[in-house]
Structures are given as structure tokens and as C-alpha cells.
Structure 1
Amino acid sequence: MADTLPPKEAQLYRKLSKCYDTKQYKQALRHANAILASADCLDHPETLAMKALVYNSLEKRKEALETAKASLRKGIMKSLCWHVYGIIYRCDGNFEQAIKCYRQACVKDPPRLTADVFFPCCQKNQIILRDLASLQIQMRDLDGYRESRRKILMERADLAQNWSGLAVAHHLNQDYDLAIEVIGKWLDLQKESKTPLHDTELSETLFYLVQLHADKGDPETALKLLHEHDQEIWDRRGFHEMRAQLNLALGAQGQTEASEKAATIYGHLIDDNPEDRRYFDGLFEAKHLTEPAKRMAVLDEVHNRYPKATLPELLVLREATGDDFKSRVDTVLRSCLRKGMPPLFNMLRHLYVDSTKVATIQTLVEGYVASLEKDRAFAAGEGIESPAVLVWTKAYLAQHLDHLGQYDRALSTVREALAHTPTALEVYFVEARILKHMGRLNEAADQLELARSLDTADRYINARCVKYQVRAGQLEKADQNVVMYAKENGDPMDYLLTLQIVWFNVVGAKAYWEKRDIPRALGKVHMVADDFNTIISDQFDFHTYCLRKSTLRAYVRFLEGEDNLHGHPNYIEAAILGAQIYLYLKQKPYKKGGDEDDDPALIGMSEADKKKYLSKKRKAAKKAEAAAAVAATDNKAAAGKGGAKKEEEDLSSRRHYDKKGEEHALTSEPLEAALKLLKPALELMPKTHVDLYITAFEVYRQLNKLLPMCRMLAAAAQIDAEHPDVHVCRVQLLQILAGGIDGQDELVQKVLPEVQKSLFGSVSDAHALNETRKAKAAAEPKEALAYNLGRVALGEASVDDAYAAVVAVVAKAESFPLKDAQALASRVRREAPSQLQACQAACLRLWPAADAFKPRTSTEASA
């Protein structure tokens, strides 16, 4: 086929391109079909490519992909066809395939047509290269990104963003000298340019150049540049912070004068903002203030100048001791209690690592309460205080006692405060937190529901109430409250998906998992994963925007933040939970519709209660099916009014995730699904969440991958070597290694002996390793769990016998943290249900009010 179009079709193509640019997609589609209907242009590749773009803009992904493939078959040498194919892959989130397509588009010769005939992307490789570069930085292909940026600059050296892009590419590759050279060359060219940079762009570029020298490890040159361009850098706060940091770095190299300058600058920064902890830390480091008395003198001087500043007054409490501390904390407590500051306890929490200071605070606050109740004053003979002061004082005392584990007294104290002033909403939070620490989750949720009803316009109270209700298993109430502020049109639960309420999905997944509603639990887990993936995908548009706006320092920090996104606690918790569910499915595959016998609510019920519970459950299921049928009928009726659009929207609805949750539960490869969730977090190797590595170890163990098992065990041991599950992992791995590694790859066999030595030292017998925990196993629940699960791993005991031994130790223990007791009960319910009643009884002895250990009736289970 000829590269040129007949005059009539060429005119239609111009209209097609114009309609696409102005987002008149239906009109553009008609023009494309008219061109393709011509006998001479039945399979015109560029028109097919444009038609694919129109379909893509109309959210018709399937048709867009098919049309793009057709255009490629007819014009495999056409740059536009490859470019459009890449755009469609990019919109679908398949960045790897999109990069391949863009690379093909770059190597193909662009069409030799007049500029106003074909899609503008085909005129030059510049736009294709820019899109390719964005994809490469999105996928962190740093070498490819640098090369693409070099080519872009070679073609258009007159644009500032092209110079900035290449400098950032070198920076990300840690080639600081080349990055500095690129920025320097561009600044030199600007001196001769007829269109110089805008002042803000010049300011950011110069500041970025200073940052490059600092990152390179050359603070002296960076400081010199900073002073040279003092008048051109507009970010004055950032300017002074950078000056202080650079002088501090020079001071660390032995330049005394630089340290003095740093101290002076930090002093000025404190004058600007005495509530920034970084400035005080910098000042102490610059002045080499290691003695508490000297730091206190500085803090007192700042507080005298700024008496309304809170931070200096709080920092000095950490340094003070004895009577001086008592006097100072007395002043702080009285001032804050008079003001009625709810976060007072959190402000002073850092002092609770010192038992002497804790005792002093308790003596003072108890004295306040007694005096306020008797004389309405903090001390006899002093002025009368407002009645509200007693409420806040008792609320603080309750939090103090709660922190010390004196839950009964804390609960009594906070209820006295509420009896005094029932409308103090913040005090309800204190009571709910105490009840949570006692394990009384339902009461805690009910108290926050009461607080929420007192102020239905407060979103924060509503959110906290929802979180407590989900923890208590009150899922229906939580669903009703969480959508209270949703938009009225459409399903309010679908509106929540657009808000990306990650914490709600995390706690919801845990609650559904406790109820063994596996599809919904997995649906929630994958909602969290999709939310984080969406955040990752959303960075795409910023790759060109930040370069265009010259916000280079913020852009580099932004990329670093995105790289660490999957280290967020919410993602890690969701990934661990999802992997644990998949491990459970590996042992007990999910049956479509669920398995009544697998319902954990049945454990511990009498036969009569079981029958009642199952009957209610079946009736509820039938009711839900009927409601779903009605909804399906309504959807069909709406098909003539945009039903196709409704079907497309359902892909991002809660119903979609419920359906996908069941598909996830029915997976034939649960271990691979578990790894897919864990890997983004494991790549960052966070120094928290020992459960992440324990769970990954188990997945790799079932996949028989020894080296990853060793890596997970080493990471877990660095966080908590005494953790019971870490001990079990060590026993399992040592037993596997003792059994021989003949079936492993040659490379694995070569390195494993060294790895084994680093992990276990001279210990080579798994039984002997497990016996090291036996001595304490008779008295300490955690040690008993480690030892007895180690015996299970060695084949020396059954799971039921192991947990029976652990429960026996708990039954005799003097103390066992509530969190550990709840985790043990959850494990027993999942792994050894025959021991659940005994476990609940043993834990209930230590935590008599905790909901988790109370036998459930059919009424409670169906609630």
C-alpha cells in the first residue's frame, strides 16, 4: 500500500486527528470508519492505529488492543503503529511490554508525510523518546533512562527540561560529576540565551546543583555555590537549612569555625520555628553539647524567649532529674491540664522509659485529683480551678495507669471523669483504649459508638469508631458508619474505593480472616495491594511534570519515597495476612461457597447452638442471594441507559473485589500468589515486622528453596532472635540441611555450607538445637511455644499434643501479655481446634474480661 492517502481520505484523516485532539471521540471514530470503508484504504495502518487510540480513550480496552494489533500487522515498519501499541499497553499498566513497543517505534523510520496529515507523534522521535524515558524511570531502568535522556537532549538542546532530565538520570545512577557537568553547562548557556529561565526555575536549578555537590560528599564546594547564588535562591528556609547542614558536615571534618557557623544558623532557625526538633538536634551537635546540664541551659534560654513554645519545655524534661524534674513537670502538667489538652499523655510518653520519672508523675497527678476533689485546686491554699480541670486530670491519670497495666483502676478513673462530664468526647477515646487493652473489644466499640452519636459531624470520631467496630467483629455496623460521609449517588461502599482507605481494608481483612470468610479477607488484602499499585502507577505523570517545572530536588525525594512505598506498615501487614491465608489454602483448599464445618464460630458450641447458628447462616445466605438477584434485575433494566458503562464501572466496585476474592481463594497456585504479595516488601528488607520473614520462610520452605529460606531466617533473627517462630524456622532449616542437599543446584550446594556456618555456628543437630529451649519451656508460655512447635517440626510430637503442652504452661503462668494470648488463641483455633476450649479457659484466667477467650453462643456468632 502507498504511504500517501487519496485527497478525500487525507482530508478525513486531518479531521480524525483534529477530533481526537479535541476529545470528540465518537466523531473521530466515524471519520476513521469512513477512511477504512474506502476501497483504497481498507487496511490503512495509520488509520487503524488512530482508531485504536480512539477506542482506548473511550475505555474500550479490548477493541483498542485488537485494532492496534491489526494496524501493526499491516504496518510493522510504521513508527506510529508501534507507538500506539505501546500507549495501549501503558494504559493497561503493562509497562514492560510498552517499553518494548516504544523501543521499536524509535528504531523505525517515521513516516515521510506532511506534518498536518498524520498523528503528530509520527513527525519525530522526540515525543516517543520522551514517553519511553518516562516508562523507563517508572520501571527504574536507570541505564535505559539515562540513554533515552541523552538522545532527547541531542535532538532538542534548547529545552531546559531536557538538560534537567539528563542531570537527574546521572544523579539517579550516582554519577554526580556528570550530573554537575550537565547542570553547569546548561547554566552557562542560559547566560547567553535570549529567553532566560524564570526566576523560580533558576532558583530550583541552582539549589539542585548545590544538592548534587552535597550528595557527592563535597560540602565545601556546595557551601561555596550556596553563598555565590545567595540572592538567586528563593527558598530561604531551605537555603538556611542547607547552610546549617553543610557547615555541620564541615565541622564534623574538623573545621571548628564551620561548627560555630552551624550553631549560629540553627539558632536563627529556632527563632523562626522553635517547634522543630531537627533544629535543636543540629544545634546540640554543632555545639558538641553532650552533657544534660548544658543542653538544659540552651533549652531554658529558648523557652524564656518563646514561653508559648511547647517543644523546648518538653525536651528539657528528658534531661532534668530529681527535684528539678518534679518542679518542671509539675509546671507543664498544670498548664496543660488547665488548657484541657487531650494529647498531653502522648506529649509526655517519651518520659515513661524512666521508672523514677513515672513514679514522680503518678505522685503529682494523684495529688492533683485528691486536691481538686476536695478543694477544687491543684494544692491546698491555691486558686480555684475550673471544673473541667478535674475531668482532664482524671483522664490523664487513667492513661497513665493504663500504660502501667493497671487496667481496672484506669477504667474506674476514666469512668469517674465521664460521670462528671458525659459530653467530653476525647475522654471516650481514653475509655475505649483502656477497654481494648483489657480485651473488651465490644465494649470499646460501643463506647466509641456512643461518642460518635454525640457529634455525628466529626469524621475523626467516626473513623475511630469504625476501626474499633471492625476489630470487635461488628462488621455490619462498621460498614454503615464508614459510608456516612460518602457521596449520595451510587453504592457508597464503592465510593470508599476511590478514597483508598487502606487501614479500613487491613483491619477488615483481619476481621474476615478470623471469621474464616476467606474470599472477603482476600478481597480486602488485594484492595490494599491494588491501592499501593495505583499509587505507584500514579507517579507516571510526574516524570515529565517535575522536569518541566524544574522541581528537581522534590522530584528526586519523590522517587526515593515511591521506591520505599511497599515498606509501609499497612502494606506489610496486608501482605503477611494474605500470605498466611494462601498458606492455609495450600493445606486446606477453599470450596466454592465455603465449608460450613470450617466456620471457626462453631468451635466450642454445643450441638443445639451449632444447629441454630447454621440455620441462621443459611437463611442469611438465601436473603443475600435474593437481594443479589434483585440487583441483577435492576442492572439489566438499566442496560438500555448506559448498561455497558455500568458494567465497566463495576470493575472498580466492591462487588468486583468480592468476586475476585473468591477467584483468589480458588487459585491452584497459592504459594506463588503468596510470594507475589510478599516480594514488594521483601525487596526493601525492612528492619521491622519479623512476621514478614517468618511467613516468607514458610512459603519458601514449601517451595523447597533453600537459599531464600536462609536469607529470610537471617533477616528474622536480626529483628528478634528469641521469637518462638524464628526458633522453629531454625529447627526446620537445620533438619533439612542435615538431611542432605544432593538435590539442589551445584551453586547452592557450594555456598550452603558457609551459610549454614553463619546461621548455626558449630550446631549441626536440630534436636540439640531445640533442646536449648526446653529448660524454660516448663514455666514461660513463649518458650513452651518455641520448644513444642520445634518438636512438631522434628516429628517428635503431634500438633494437638504440642498445643496441649503450651496451654498447660499458660494455665499455670502468672502473666501472659494479652496480645500474645490473643495470637495463641487464634493459632490454636486455626491449627488445633480440639485444644481451643482449654486454651480459652487458660487465657481467660489471666484476662477474665477479654472477648477473645469467651465461648461464643449461636446468637453472638451470627451477630
Structure 2
Amino acid sequence: MPQPLSSREGNLFRQVVRNYEDKQYKRGLKAAEQILKKNAKHGDTMAMKALILNAQGKTEEAFALGKEALTVDMKSHICWHVYGLLYRTNKNFEEAIKAYRFALRLEPESPQIQRDLAVLQIQMRDYQGYVQSRLAMLQARPALRQSWTGLAIAHHLAGNLADADQILKTFEETLKAQPSKTDLEHSEMLMYHNTIIAESGDYQKALDHLQTSCKHNLDRLAYLEARASYLAQLGKKEEAAQAYRALLDRNPDHTEYYDALVEVSDIPKGDLVKRKAIYDEYATKYPRCDAARRLPLDFLTGAEFKTAAKSYLTFVLDKGIPSTFANLKHLYSDDSKKTALREVVEEYLSANAKDETNADSSRGKGAAIYYLAQHYSYYRSRDLPKAMEYVDQAIKEDPNDVNFAMTKARIWKYYANPQKASEAMEHARGLDTKDRYINTKAAKYQLRNNELDNALKTMGMFTKADTPGGPLADLLDMQSVWFLTEDGEANERLGNLGVALKRFHAVFNIFDIWQEDQFDFHGFSLRKGMLRSYIDMVRWEDHLRDHPFYTRVAIGATNAYLQIHEQQSAKATNGVNGANGGDTNGEDALEKKKAAKKAKKDAQRLEREAADKAAKQDPNKKSAKQDPEALKKKDDDPLGAKLAATTEPLAEAMKFVLPMLQCSPQSIQAQTTAFEVLILRKKYILALRCLKAALSLDAEDPKAHEQAIRLRHALNTDLASLAPKVAEVINAEFTEISSSADLAKLNQEYREKHKASPQHVLSSIRVRKALGEDRASLAKDVVALLQIQDIKVEDAQLAQQVLKSWQSGELEAFNKAAGQKWPESSVFA
């Protein structure tokens, strides 16, 4: 047991707690030291000191002191609580929950411990534990509204909708005085209660509750939408139609209201006249409404479609609306509509040419030319020479229009000429230097052209000028995921794998930060009463890593680690100073080492200069040495050298692979990328699972075909050495290619089946290499891909990458032939 404190030292201890809460860490440490001088084994003071040390970034010292405090006083709830806080700040949430539970046993009445435990339980999605914690909090403080709503939310997330409904119903019945109509929290709670009833499927009960308890709800839009939905679900179609008409009167451009109104109006799908009459009614009633004019184009066909398209396009082109093509390109999946839209715009342009006397005519002409430039650059109707011709006409009409200049840059991108695309987008940026969007587009195109410094300089025009570390540090602070991803991919293309991994890890960490950001809202949303928004946030966070950027970054990082593994394997095979070209390789390595060292010194110099500049601008700002937060932010590996120097690249890659497979199971690229890591690690069952997933998504995918044969080829060699149970599972599950199959013959049949597809033929060539065929003869087959009639520049780039990876002597001939085939492209120069 700790020594009892005197009144003076008791006051000092309370001061330590206040100093910690106010982030006055130096004062807190000083006060704690004064207590510990006289009471060296006072566990609570030791625990508070550990907490302060942890806040200063001294994590190891804090944990050691926290453990010592527990050994001194195992029955102190403060020691256990602090121990849990230490684990929480270091993201070990399971251990933090255990420590909180110990603390709660010792001090069951502590609201702070109970609150911290509940927050961790919802963060970890321990819904049953969260229900118990919220129930205890309700029993402790039943007078608070948030105690009731917190328990209802716990039951709701746990799937106990009836219990959540009953809790809120009980709370509403216990109110002695009815809250005022302007009470926002009560209004929100009633709408939340209504959504719980609706989710249970009892729409009649939800409608009754809505029309009684929520009749005067402050969120009128939510009330009206819910009422219309419930009426439609209950089959009360006349009332539902009136409700949706009321909603359309509020917002005639909301597309979902039209779909719902058509559905409840009992109009057969084939009766296009009646369906269109609804849209015509609102187009007449609201002349400026776009949705009522555009939506009929989705279901009309033939002559009716062309008439409606002519009316709509005349309306929007006369106004010179730049987003016209973006609003209509989804129709291009239908060839007849694609042709009709082009014909209508060409007719409009011809008619417009006859009347050039007014400004509206000139504006319409530019909009029509711009539409055709986009039409011919779109992948479903691509004709790049025509696209370039039209965009040049548009620019001639208005040389200062940013949209026209951006489209020209996009056309150069489709030509596979990133250099001219970057130059064109930079020209577009110069037309409007105050527009952040065009600024970011210019930076993106510069990154695609591997202009890393120029891209950072361009982004620096819209970042804080005094940020230590320059624009990149500010982009990291702003969590600019797109820039970090593009920069990482550009560095990977250039072979700067350390910097690439640095960027990919930064994005990976940003997703972790977004996950942790929930902590602030678990309590805040309850206090403010924003219950429906809170539920939406929790559900959104559950699918956070489904975002395409997460998968893209995981694939990029995995590929970088695969390259590192390949380089390390090559070094291990050939030796650092092999007989063939050993001196040259050594010189290259030395030059790379010198370049990396120089770049590191330059980065450190620039960082110091930026810090000095910031200090001069704000003399009250602390230096990095004085400010522990600055020390914590300081990057000791700015070029990612430590990441690239890993001795276990495949193990590091698995940190990206496992979450990617869990969150993006429908991405065939994710499955095939994961396969590459797993087969190298000889995790054949997991590799087989990825292969089967890829084949289920696309049985004819070229990469999946290649991997299937590679896996069978590897198993033919290694199956006997595997554990009997593993071999049994593989034999039972790997039914796509039998162990006795002739792999070369199977591959040849696949090639014949897809001989018109360059990517499939290239895949069959890679398979032949994997089966041991001579690389020199295979390289000639890769060059022969250029003779395939339907080959595209993207296919040629894939073939070029294969020849580069093989270090083939045929690369020069390939580039020459491809350059003649696509003279506008720069990638074959």
C-alpha cells in the first residue's frame, strides 16, 4: 500500500492531475518529483508521472514506470486506469480494455473509467460489452438524456432493435415536461427512434410514430422523406405520390424523387408516354430544372430518344454548360444512343454555323465543339485525331477557356504522351492561377510525367508558405491522399523504392488516423445529440478501407516490396561482385549510395532552412529542440532508406496484403497482387484461395491464367515436400488444372482461344518463360504482338515493360516499331 499523503502533498497531487489535463507537463513533473522525494513508493503519483512522460513521447520510460506503479499498489484504480491509458495511446486496445476492467472492479462508481471503457468497446466494435457499459452508466445517471440514447445506440448497433425501441419509448414516457418544439436534441432523438422502428420492418408503426411524435420535427426534409417512403412501403400509393410531389416541389432536381414517383404512380415500364409525361410536367413547371429534361433520356429509345435529346441538348448547349457531356456519357453504353447524341450535336453545330449574329450563337458553337471533342476522346467512341481537331477548334473559339485546354491535355494523355499532356495541363493552369482544382490537375499530370519537383512546386502555390518541411509536410498534414499516392507511384516508376514506400506508408497511416478519429465522436455525438449522423459515421468507418485509394496504395506498396525481394534475390544469386560485370554493378551501387546520401543532406538542409524561416516570422514559436511535439513529428527517415533496407520484404508486404484482401475481395488486381507474395512465401493454400477468387471474378483474365499455371508448376515440384494435410487440401481444392495436365499444351490452347487479344497472348508468353523456354526467342514473340490488328497503346506499354524486365536486346526494335505505329506517343522514345 502507498504511504498516505499529507494535506500539502495531497494538494500537490491534485495539482499534478490539473497540470496533466492542462498539458503543463513540466510543472506536473516537477510537482510529482516533489511528492516522490518524500513518498518514493506512492503508486498514484508514479502513475501520473508515467502518464506525463508518455505525453512527452517517452513511451518506454512511461511503461516501465507504469508497471512499477502497479507493483507498488495493485489495488489502486488510478494505477490501473493509467495503465489502460498508456496502452490506449499506443493502440493496444485489447490490453487497455483489460486494464480498464481491473480499474472498474476497484472503483465501480467512477464515471471516467466507465466512460473510457465504453469508448474503447465501441471503437473495437465489442457491442455486447458496450451494451453492459452503457447500462451501468444509465443506472448511475438515469436523469441524463444521453444515458438513455447511449444505451439505445448500443442495442441498435448490436442488432437488438426491439430493445433499442423499448429504451427510447420508456425515456419518452418518463418525461415529466414535454420539451419545447425548438429543442434540437429532443427532435433528433425522436427521428432516431423513428429510424429504429423503420429498420425493424414495421412501417405502419413507424408511420404512426412519425405522424404523432415527429409531426413538428425540426428536420422537415427527413420527416417528409420518411413519410413518403413509409407510405410507398405500405402500398398507399396515392398518398405516397402526393408526398413525393411535395418533395419535388422542394427540390425538382433530386433524381430519386422522380424514380419513386413513377413507381408509386402504377405506370407500366413499357408505357413510356405516361412516364415521360411526369417529367414534362415538372420541366414545364420549373423551366430551369435540369433533371426533368435529362432523365427521360435514360429510358426513351429510337425516334423518341432523338427528339428528347435534341430538345435537351439545344437547351444546354445554348447556355454553354460545360458539364453536358459528363451528364450524358453514361448513355454511351447503348450504341444507338451514342450515335444519336453525336448526330444531334453535329446538326446543332451545322444550324449554329448559319446564325453567327448573336453572342448566344457563339457560345453554343463553342459548347457543341467542346462536346464533340469529349465525345471522340471518350473510350467508348474514341477517335483521337478527330478529338484533337475539335478541341483545337474550341480553343480557337475561346483561347482562354480552361475546360478546352484541360481536354486537350487529356487527349495527349490518351495518346500516351505524358510529356505533352503535362505541358498542356500546365498551360491550362496558367489561364486561371487562382483555381485550386486546375492547380491540382496540373500537379497530377506532372507526377504522371515523373516531374516530381515541378509537381511539388505547383502544389506549393496553395499550401502554407511557412510550414517547416515545405509543401510536402503541409500536404502530409492535410492528408492529401491523392498526391501522396501519385507521388509514390511516380517514385516507384523511377526506381526510388524507398521514397515510394515512404509515401505508401504515409497513406496507410492516414487511414489508421481516420479510424482513430472516431474516438472524438463517440462522446461528442451523444453530448450534442446528433444520433443519426453518429450511426452513419460508425457504419461508414466499418467500410473505411473499402475505398479504392486504399487498395491502390496497398497494391503499389506490395509491388515495391516485390521489387526489393527480386533485387535481394538477384544479389544473393550473383553476388555483389559477380564475374560478369561485377565492377560495373559495384560502381552503380556506389553512385546510388552517394546520390542517396546527398539527397538526404539536401532534405535536412531544406528542413532546417524552413524551420529558421518560420521562427523568424513568428519569434514566439518554439524551436524543435524546445518543443516536444516538434521532436515527435521529426522524420528520421525522409527518403525511406530504412523501409527499403528491410531484410524481409515479403513479410512487410503481408502487412498490406491481408487488409487489402479483407477489404477488397472483389478486386481482381488485389487478388492477383496478393498471389505474387503468397507464392513466393510458399503459402500455397492462401495463394490458391486468391487464385480461385480471381478466376471466379473473371475466368479468362490473363493474369489469373498465368498464375494458375505457375501455381500448378510450383506444386508439381513442391507438393511432395508439403505437410500431408496441406497437400490433401490442395489436391481437393485445386480442380482448375489437374496435376497430370500438360501445362505447355494448356497454355497453347489458351493462346489460340485468345489470339486476337494482345494481353492474353502476352500472358501466354510469360507462362512459357515460367515453364523454362528461352527468353531470347520469347522476346521476338513479344515484338510480334505489334502485328495484332486490335492492339492498343496500353497493350504495347505492357509488352514494353516485359521486355524491360527481361533486359531484352529486342527492346530497341520494339520501341522503334511501336513509335512508328503510334507517332504521337512519347513512351516509346
Same fold (TM over 0.5): yes
Q: Does 1:702 align with 2:700?
A: no
2: CA distance, partners of 1:614 / 1:401? 47
1:207 counterpart (159, 184, 191): 191
Q: Output the amino acid matched with 2:195.
A: Q
2: CA distance, partners of 1:801 / 1:185? 80
Deviations 1:107-135 (A, max 9, x none): 3x24xxxxxxxxxxxx9332212111211
Q: Give 1:613 shift.
A: 12
Contact 1:89–1:95 under 8 Å retained in 2: yes
Residue 432 of structure 1 corresponds to which residue in structure 2? 409
Q: Give 1:473 shift.
A: 1.1
2: CA distance, partners of 1:817 / 1:645? 59
1: CA distance, partners of 2:703 / 2:222? 47
Deviations 1:316-367 (A, max 9, x none): 1222333333332223223222322111110111221222222222223234
Tell me: CA distance 1:616–1:709, structure 2 relative to 1, closer, same or farther (3 Å).
closer
Residue 814 of structure 1 corresponds to which residue in structure 2? 789
Q: Please show how residues 632-671 of structure 1 align to structure 2 within 5 Å.
A: 642-645=623-626, 648-649=629-630, 652=633, 655-656=635-636, 658-659=638-639, 661-671=640-650
Tell me: CA distance 1:641–1:319, structure 2 relative to 1, closer, same or farther (3 Å).
closer
Of the structure 1 ranges 281-290 and 629-638, higher mean CA displacement relative to structure 2 is found in 629-638
Residue 312 of structure 1 corresponds to which residue in structure 2? 292
Q: Output the amino acid matched with 2:191.
A: F
Q: Output the amino acid matched with 2:371.
A: Y
Q: Give 1:754 shift.
A: 5.1
1:829 counterpart (776, 800, 804): 804
Task: Tell me the SS of whatever aligns to 2:638.
Answer: helix
Q: Output the amino acid matched with 1:139.
A: M
1: CA distance, partners of 2:779 / 2:67? 59
1: CA distance, partners of 2:520 / 2:78? 21
Q: Give 1:575 shift.
A: 0.5
Tell me: CA distance 1:364–1:431, structure 2 relative to 1, closer, same or farther (3 Å).
same
Tell me: CA distance 1:668–1:785, structure 2 relative to 1, closer, same or farther (3 Å).
same
Residue 471 of structure 1 corresponds to which residue in structure 2? 448
2: CA distance, partners of 1:797 / 1:148? 65
Q: Give 1:209 shift.
A: 2.2
Q: Give 1:799 shift.
A: 5.4
Residue 602 of structure 1 corresponds to which residue in structure 2? none
Q: Please show how residues 653-692 of structure 1 align to structure 2 within 5 Å.
A: 655-656=635-636, 658-659=638-639, 661-687=640-666, 689-692=667-670
Q: Give 1:503 shift.
A: 0.7
Tell me: CA distance 1:796–1:777, structure 2 relative to 1, closer, same or farther (3 Å).
farther
Q: Does 1:365 align with 2:345?
A: yes
1:155 counterpart (140, 143, 147): 140
Tell me: CA distance 1:269–1:842, structure 2 relative to 1, closer, same or farther (3 Å).
farther
Q: Give 1:567 shift.
A: 1.0
1:245 counterpart (217, 225, 229): 229
Task: Tell me the SS of whatever aligns to 1:317.
Answer: helix
Q: Please show how residues 347-426 of structure 1 align to structure 2 within 5 Å.
A: 347-373=327-353, 375-376=355-356, 385-403=360-378, 404-426=381-403
Q: Give 1:519 shift.
A: 0.6
1: CA distance, partners of 2:188 / 2:729? 49
Q: Does 1:485 align with 2:462?
A: yes
1: CA distance, partners of 2:220 / 2:2? 61
Contact 1:728–1:790 under 8 Å retained in 2: yes
Q: Give 1:390 shift.
A: 2.6
Task: Tell me the SS of whatever aligns to 1:773.
Answer: helix
Residue 486 of structure 2 corresponds to which residue in structure 1? 507
Q: Output the amino acid matched with 2:391.
A: V
Q: Give 1:838 shift.
A: 4.1
1: CA distance, partners of 2:203 / 2:821? 59
Contact 1:519–1:665 under 8 Å retained in 2: yes
Q: Give 1:577 shift.
A: 1.0
Tell me: CA distance 1:791–1:826, structure 2 relative to 1, closer, same or farther (3 Å).
closer
Tell me: CA distance 1:270–1:754, structure 2 relative to 1, closer, same or farther (3 Å).
farther
Of the structure 1 ranges 213-222 and 495-504, higher mean CA displacement relative to structure 2 is found in 213-222
Residue 254 of structure 1 corresponds to which residue in structure 2? none
1: CA distance, partners of 2:591 / 2:256? 59
1: CA distance, partners of 2:745 / 2:564? 32
1:525 counterpart (500, 504, 508): 504
Q: Tell me the TM-score normalized by structure 1.
A: 0.86
Tell me: CA distance 1:632–1:323, structure 2 relative to 1, closer, same or farther (3 Å).
closer
Contact 1:199–1:232 under 8 Å retained in 2: no
Contact 1:336–1:344 under 8 Å retained in 2: yes
Q: Output the amino acid matched with 2:459.
A: V
1: CA distance, partners of 2:607 / 2:241? 70
Residue 787 of structure 1 corresponds to which residue in structure 2? 764
Q: Tell me the TM-score normalized by structure 2.
A: 0.89
2: CA distance, partners of 1:275 / 1:124? 54
Residue 527 of structure 2 corresponds to which residue in structure 1? 548
Query: Percent identity over the alignment?
Result: 33
Contact 1:49–1:71 under 8 Å retained in 2: yes
1: CA distance, partners of 2:417 / 2:8? 78
Q: Please show how residues 842-861 of structure 1 align to structure 2 within 5 Å.
A: 842-854=817-829
Tell me: CA distance 1:154–1:835, structure 2 relative to 1, closer, same or farther (3 Å).
farther
Q: Output the amino acid matched with 2:362.
A: P
Q: Give 1:100 shift.
A: 2.7
Q: Give 1:781 shift.
A: 1.0
Q: Give 1:495 shift.
A: 1.0
Residue 259 of structure 1 corresponds to which residue in structure 2? 237
Q: Output the amino acid matched with 2:162.
A: D
| Residues matched between the structures, number | 808
Q: Give 1:752 shift.
A: 4.5
Tell me: CA distance 1:242–1:764, structure 2 relative to 1, closer, same or farther (3 Å).
farther
Contact 1:456–1:462 under 8 Å retained in 2: yes
Tell me: CA distance 1:106–1:310, structure 2 relative to 1, closer, same or farther (3 Å).
same
2: CA distance, partners of 1:193 / 1:125? 30
Deviations 1:455-497 (A, max 9, x none): 2211111011001110011111101001112112122321111
Deviations 1:816-859 (A, max 9, x none): 233333344334433555453344345434432222222xxxxx
Residue 734 of structure 2 corresponds to which residue in structure 1? 756
Q: Please show how residues 533-682 of structure 1 align to structure 2 within 5 Å.
A: 533-589=512-568, 624=599, 627-628=602-603, 630=605, 642-645=623-626, 648-649=629-630, 652=633, 655-656=635-636, 658-659=638-639, 661-682=640-661
1: CA distance, partners of 2:718 / 2:647? 30
2: CA distance, partners of 1:566 / 1:580? 19
Of the structure 1 ranges 272-281 and 826-835, higher mean CA displacement relative to structure 2 is found in 826-835
Q: Output the amino acid matched with 1:786.
A: S
Task: Tell me the SS of whatever aligns to 1:535.
Answer: helix
Task: Tell me the SS of whatever aligns to 1:483.
Answer: helix
Deviations 1:567-623 (A, max 9, x none): 11111111111111112222223999xx9x9xxxxxxxxx9xx9x999998997676
Task: Tell me the SS of whatever aligns to 2:30.
Answer: helix
Contact 1:46–1:80 under 8 Å retained in 2: yes
1: CA distance, partners of 2:778 / 2:131? 58
Contact 1:93–1:537 under 8 Å retained in 2: no
Of the structure 1 ranges 392-401 and 635-644, higher mean CA displacement relative to structure 2 is found in 635-644
Structure 1 unaligned blocks of 5 or more: 111-122, 252-257, 378-382, 598-606, 855-863
2: CA distance, partners of 1:341 / 1:677? 43
Q: Give 1:500 shift.
A: 0.8
Residue 30 of structure 1 corresponds to which residue in structure 2? 30
Contact 1:527–1:657 under 8 Å retained in 2: no
Task: Tell me the SS of whatever aligns to 1:643.
Answer: coil
Residue 145 of structure 1 corresponds to which residue in structure 2? 130
Residue 112 of structure 2 corresponds to which residue in structure 1? 127
Task: Tell me the SS of whatever aligns to 2:568.
Answer: coil
Q: Give 1:210 shift.
A: 2.1
2: CA distance, partners of 1:657 / 1:549? 42
